[in-house]
Amino acid sequence: MSAKNKVAAVLLLFVVASVAILVGREMRESTADDTAPAAVQLPEHALVVYYFHGDTRCPTCRNIESYSHEAVQAAFADELAENKLLWKVVNYEQPENNHFATEYEIVSPTVVLVRTTEGKVADWRNLARVWELVGDRDAFTEYIQNETRSMLGS
C-alpha cells in the first residue's frame, strides 16, 4: 500500500470515527431530554438552604459550600432532623436547573435560603455576602446562621 493510500485510509477512519462520536452524543442528548427530571418538588413547610454552584468549582467555591454546610449542621441539627430545614447542593448551570439562576438572581456560586409554605416559595434570600466573608470563617458562620435563623423565624 502506498503512502498516499495509507493517508487516505487514516483520514477516512478519522471521518467515520468523528461521525460516530457525533451520532452517539446526539443520541445521549435526546435520551437525556426524554428522561429529564420532573419539576422540583418543594417541601410543604420548610426552609431550604441551597448551595448553588456552577460546572467549574474553584477552592473558594468549595470552601463556601463546606463552611455553609458546617454552619447549618452545627446550629440547626434539630431542624434538619425534623425536616424543617433542608440542605441541597445544586449545579445551576445544568440545563434542568437553569431556572434557579433567574428565580434567585444567581450570577456566581452562592447560598440561597428559600422558605416554603404550602409547597410554594413564600420568601427567599440570596446570601451573596458569602464571597465577602469566606476569608473570615467565624464571620461567615455567624452570617449563615443569623440569616437562617431569621428566615426560620419569619
> Does position 11 have pLDDT exceeding 80, yes or no?
no
User: pTM of the entire structure?
Assistant: 0.72
- Reported confidence tier of residue 44, pLDDT bands at 50, 70, 90: confident
Per the prediction, the chain carries an average pLDDT of 84
* Residue 69 and residue 139 in one domain: yes
How many other CB atoms are there within 10 angstroms of residue 53's CB atom?
21
* Residue 22 and residue 73 in one domain: no
* Residue 31 and residue 58 in one domain: no
* Residue 101 and residue 142 in one domain: yes
* Residue 127 and residue 65 in one domain: yes
- How many independent structural domains does the chain possess? 2
* Residue 72 and residue 98 in one domain: yes
- Backbone φ and ψ for 145, nearest 5 degrees, come out as -70, -40
State how far the alpha carbon of 148 is from the alpha carbons of 22, 72, 125, 152, in Å.
46, 8, 10, 6
SS3 140: helix
pLDDT tens-digit profile of 122-146?
999 999 999 999 999 999 999 999 9
Q: What gap in Å lies between CA 93 and CA 95, rounded to an integer?
A: 6
